[in-house]
Structure formats: C-alpha cells, structure tokens
C-alpha cells in the first residue's frame, strides 16, 4: 500500500528536520490535491513516522513529540501568528498543518484565504528548498533564531 507521506519520509523531499518519532516537512507542489501549483511558503506539516490515520492513534510519546515539534517549528517560522489544523481529506497519514501569517497580511486575507492575497509568498520547488534550509538553521537556535 503506497502512502504519499511514508514515501516522502523515505525520499526526504521537503523534510526540514525530525527525530525518531516525528518528521517536520514543508508542503510541496506535488502534494495530493495541489496539482503542481506553487505553494504558500512556510506551510509546514508535522507527521508521525509511523503510518497512523488520526490523533487518537498516537502513543503518548508520539503525542508529546507532535506538540514539541509544532511549537519548535512555529518559533522558527518568524510569523506574527501560526494557524494549526488537522484535516486529512487527501492523505490517510496524520499530518498537522502549521500555516504562518506573516506581518502585513491584510485582515481580509487571514486564514483560510492566506494564499489568495496577491502579495502572498508563493513558490515552487526551488523556493521551498531554499526556505527549508533557512527554517532548519533557525531550529538550531534557541528561541527560533529571533
């Protein structure tokens, strides 16, 4: 059985960092349902390494790790606010979305319309790869490199 998230963990595509329980990754233009379109830069996902469908399937250690990674990633995003959601309509492998709202985003484009703002930062694989490197560097700095 093929799983987009499990496959991505194997290839490392879009992966920012991880530990034995969780992977932090950036969404990619080839994500299911995205059809190759540019992505909102900074849209991260925290995913358990184990293929589990929902929050209720996490072990206590995995649940704690999910929260730690979400907080750590949120600090490294350097946003004025980080939205967080679990939807799961496209992929049956738990993934917690973290979506930054950058300073200056007009109120009418706040979540869930962030990527509709004409000045929203969108990018393809090259921009994602560069940002992944920047976020990875901020993760290693206490406080997220601010």
Q: How far is the CB of 5 from Zn ion (least distance, A)?
A: 4
Residue with Cβ nearer Zn ion (2 or 104): 2
Residue with Cβ nearer Zn ion (51 or 97): 51
Q: How far is the CB of 91 from Zn ion (least distance, A)?
A: 8
Q: How far is the CB of 11 from Zn ion (least distance, A)?
A: 13
Question: How many C-beta atoms surround the C-beta of residue 47 within 10 A?
Answer: 25
Let me know how long the chain is.
146
Residue with Cβ nearer Zn ion (6 or 79): 6
For the record, the structure tokens of 93 come out as: 């492998």
Q: How far is the CB of 83 from Zn ion (least distance, A)?
A: 23
Query: Which parts of 2-21 interact with Zn ion (CB under 5 A)?
Result: 3, 5-6
Cα–Cα dist 101/121, whole Å: 10
Cα–Cα dist 56/25, whole Å: 22
Query: Which parts of 39-58 interact with Zn ion (CB under 5 A)?
Result: 51
Cα–Cα dist 92/85, whole Å: 15
Query: Which parts of 61-100 interact with Zn ion (CB under 5 A)?
Result: 93
Beta strands per DSSP E along the chain: 15-18, 22-26, 39-40, 44-48, 81-85, 96-101, 122-123
Residue with Cβ nearer Zn ion (49 or 136): 49
Binding site for Zn ion (CB under 5 A): 3, 5-6, 51, 93
């Amino acid at each position: 059985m093929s799983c987009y998230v499990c496959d991505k963990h194997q290839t490392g595509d879009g992966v920012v960092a991880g530990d034995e329980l969780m992977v932090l990754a950036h969404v990619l233009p080839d994500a299911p349902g995205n059809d190759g379109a540019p992505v909102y830069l900074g849209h991260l996902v925290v995913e358990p390494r184990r293929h589990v469908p929902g929050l209720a399937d996490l072990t206590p250690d995995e649940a704690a790790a999910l929260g730690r990674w979400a907080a750590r990633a949120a600090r490294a995003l350097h946003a004025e606010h980080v939205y967080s959601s679990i939807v799961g309509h496209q992929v049956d492998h738990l993934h917690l979305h973290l979506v930054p709202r950058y300073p200056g985003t007009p109120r009418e484009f706040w979540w869930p319309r962030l990527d509709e703002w004409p000045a929203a930062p969108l990018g393809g694989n090259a921009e994602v790869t560069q940002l992944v490197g920047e976020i990875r560097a901020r993760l290693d700095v206490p406080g997220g490199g601010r």
